[in-house]
Structure 1
Amino acid sequence: MDGPLPLATTPTPDWTMLPPELLQTIATKLPDISDFVKFRAVCTTWRSSARVSHPPPQLPWFLEEPDYLPYFKSNLRFYSLFSGKIHTIHSPNSSGDWLWGPAHDYIVMFNVAAPSSQFSLLNPLTGRKVLLPFLDITRLLPIWVGPDPIESREPVVFASLLADSRTRILALYQPVAREWVVIEEPCSYPVRCHYFNGMFYVDGEGNGDTKVINTVTRKVVHVVPPPPEDDYECNAIMGMTYLVQSGSDILRVVLHYNGRLEVPDYHFHIHRLDLQSGNGEEPRWVKISSIGDQILFLDEHNGFSLSCRDYSGLRRNSIYVIKSYQAMHDPSLSSLCRYDIEEARSEPLNCPFVKGGIWIVPSLR
């Protein structure tokens, strides 16, 4: 037969026929929730293999602070560290409110137009909003929100100075009982706090002490003096203290930065709380040079920790921090950087948002 032979055609694979167990394996390897959503949108088979009730561990997004403080609009902008993309999500329930974090799944909302202090939890991706019981405070400082505070037993923690500026409160919302545990203390200093296993860990005494308070008895069980490294001093150096849970440890993370530089240079002192239980020694902070497989995410007020064993694409034993600073030409800028704990070195990262904001672990629940 004369003439060219016909070209062989390659059959188009039917991706809907992939085995469900393979699809489930692929779905668990998607650490950015936008990829997880796109995966579910391919077809019915893929959607049934990537259940919303069992999503893969998600890497944090950064929620942009609004241009006009303190109110957010209905369109929220997020930046993904993993993909480097900006996601704009229409969230009408957030319009006109303060949004507080950092948070897992749900952000704390405060409606400033309400006749009383109205707080609620909002999942900005799904739009689900849950009103919290009344809490009589109007000024918030740090807030900590545990993973999935609606369906799980993880609490929501507020810390605040009251209007008299001489009294602080620690407020613990318990989702199961749907009630607040409120502890009042005389104090005139801003407070940093964290909650873990029935205990408040509270910084902000002015003298650097950390109180450990039992949330059931509401009594102070330990007063831990500051570590000697707190005497770190240098011209133009400013500091900020965070209390963060990392695995089963409570960490005291002190940020030092030079605010006179065009791009701040960050350094951290990290200590682990050693309660010395059972041997009669006093509780103390122990300086550490590694957090192992953990990664810390810090913003202007608070932070949380994740294990890099659950993720890919981010560096272990690191701190990702976003912090406002005052440059000579603009007093309200923010920088995003990664701090390598082992090398004691900070590295600026690209961030398209000029203003600050909060970390959130996105969720479809």
Structure 2
Amino acid sequence: MACGGGGGKAGTGWSSLQADLLLSVFALLPSDADRVRFRAVCGAWGGAAAAWPPRPWLVGSRTDRSGRGGGAVSSFWLSPCGGLLPFAANVPAGFEYLSSSRGYIALADPRAPPKAIVLFNPVTGRRIHLPPIAFFKRWLDLTTVVLSADPEAAAEWAAVAVGFPTTCLAYYSSATGAWTRLDFGVPGYAGVEHYNGRFYVAFKSQICVCEVDGDAPAVIPLERVDDADGGDGSDDEERRLRASGRRVVETHLVECDGQLLLISVHDDVVYNSDDDMGGLAVDDGAGSKGGGGGDARAVEVHRVEWLGDDGAVRLVRETDLGWNALFLGRNRAFALSVVEFPACRVNCVYLVDRQGHPDGVVRVLDMENQWARREETICPDDVPCGSSSSAGWARRGWFFPNYG
């Protein structure tokens, strides 16, 4: 459809339609492909569409503990009312969901050994095939793929892939088209973020930088400095958690308002490094609505404060996200401002929980009072809630589309 027309008379062409009317039409379009075409019609239509606030998606695929069963993908919008609305996302059939970053969903074909990553943009339909990661063990559950930039907009870009439990990291460069091994062995989940031109990785309170230039790529721990009086007490908090039997089960790094945040999720669940479906041994008898200690979750946020140019950092406890909301899952995490994205709740954490369970939930935790929580139960049509089937929507995570 062209924007011209109107016989040369001002105000009679398609481009002269009022912006609010164009925006209403744009919001009613049934698919992202239609939204892309809408934006491409002309500058006026693209400008009107730019005022539409995108919504985070929750994406997942069903699999079993042997790694088979992928190919059925579920997708939900986060609604302005706070619920999750199912919709049919433009995701190729036969793939399993792994992670997301920079407007791309990382997918893999579970039927094709060796496992290779396909980056898929559900808005434009573009696919980028990455080579297999030869040094990852077969049983390793690939949880996170973080991109340095949008591959469609950057001349060169890079990616870091992380598995669970972490025996090493994999670094990909678009310039070489190959994966490089970065040794980093931890017994659980590690968080990764690309911040100020570099990749960082964290496990619990340890923060490292990925040095990829030169002949010897490596993951280098940053020196952590606390105040003489114990700083923010995060070391004391770790000792207290260990003494009580509580564990840090997830660690995330998130860029928020130009700052790098270290986020830890802990609870009373027993950590199990042999469970390649998510690493959590959940007490099913604890109840589903926060009624038991084994079902509890708590989120701690620290701001990474840089001390000079020597690489030392200090962790500063944060209890207020301001106008932001955090989206956490067993893949890349991110922060959104509720000013720009009103579907989010202010100063809240959206935590994807119960990985590997058909009746998994999204917990909405209020940072001001984390016991004031809500849950959204995710239960696909073909796996009834409470089912004893070994298959579940185990690979779930947040995705934020890029309509730019």
Which of 98, 101, 123 is 2:99 aligned to? 101
CA displacement, residues 210-261 of structure 1 (integer Å, 9 cap, x when unaligned): 2223332535272337932323427574432222222322211111234534
SS at match of 2:200: strand
Q: What code does the residue aligned with 2:296 have?
A: D
CA displacement, residues 117-163 of structure 1 (integer Å, 9 cap, x when unaligned): 422211245543221245323432432246633333664320247xx
How far does residue 101 in structure 1 lie from its aligned partner after superposition?
0.9
Are 1:342 and 2:397 an aligned pair?
no
SS at match of 1:231: helix
How large is the RMSD of aligned CA atoms in angstroms? 4.2
Which of 197, 206, 210 is 1:209 aligned to? 206
Rounded to whole Å, the distance in 1 between the matches of 2:311 and 2:210 is 19
Max radius of gyration: which structure?
A: 1
How far does residue 49 in structure 1 lie from its aligned partner after superposition?
1.0
Are 1:316 and 2:316 an aligned pair?
no
Aligned to 2:400: 361
Q: Which moves more between the two structures, 309-318 or 125-134?
A: 125-134
SS at match of 1:311: coil
Aligned to 1:65: 61
1:190-229 matches, within 5 Å, as: 190=188, 191-204=190-203, 208-217=205-214, 218=217, 220=220, 222-224=222-224, 227-228=234-235, 229=237
Structure 2 CA distance for partners of 1:198 and 1:250, relative to 1, 3 Å: same
Which of 248, 253, 256 is 1:243 aligned to? 253
Q: What code does the residue aligned with 1:304 have?
A: F
- Structure 2 unmatched runs, 5+: 1-11, 227-233, 270-285, 290-294, 381-392
How far does residue 178 in structure 1 lie from its aligned partner after superposition?
5.7
Structure 2 CA distance for partners of 1:40 and 1:196, relative to 1, 3 Å: closer
Which of 128, 151, 170 is 2:153 aligned to? 151
CA displacement, residues 35-75 of structure 1 (integer Å, 9 cap, x when unaligned): 87778899x989971479968442211113316554432x6
Rounded to whole Å, the distance in 2 between the matches of 1:300 and 1:244 is 13
Structure 2 CA distance for partners of 1:275 and 1:38, relative to 1, 3 Å: same
Aligned to 2:108: 110
1:4-153 matches, within 5 Å, as: 20=16, 22-23=18-19, 27=23, 49-50=45-46, 56-66=52-62, 68=64, 70-73=68-71, 76-82=73-79, 84-89=84-89, 91=91, 93-95=92-94, 97-136=95-134, 137=136, 138=138, 139=140, 140-145=142-147, 148-152=150-154
Rounded to whole Å, the distance in 1 between the matches of 2:104 and 2:320 is 30
SS at match of 1:275: strand
SS at match of 1:101: strand
Structure 2 CA distance for partners of 1:291 and 1:90, relative to 1, 3 Å: closer
Q: What code does the residue aligned with 1:250 have?
A: L
Structure 2 CA distance for partners of 1:202 and 1:363, relative to 1, 3 Å: closer
Q: How high is the TM-score relative to the length of structure 2?
A: 0.67
Aligned to 2:324: 294
How far does residue 33 in structure 1 lie from its aligned partner after superposition?
8.0
Corresponding residue pairs, total: 336
How far does residue 197 in structure 1 lie from its aligned partner after superposition?
2.6
Aligned to 1:275: 306
Rounded to whole Å, the distance in 2 between the matches of 1:230 and 1:121 is 37
Aligned to 1:7: none
CA displacement, residues 281-332 of structure 1 (integer Å, 9 cap, x when unaligned): 9422111112222221111344112222321132222211111169xxxx65
Contact 1:160 1:168 in 2 (8 A): yes
Q: How high is the TM-score relative to the length of structure 1?
A: 0.73
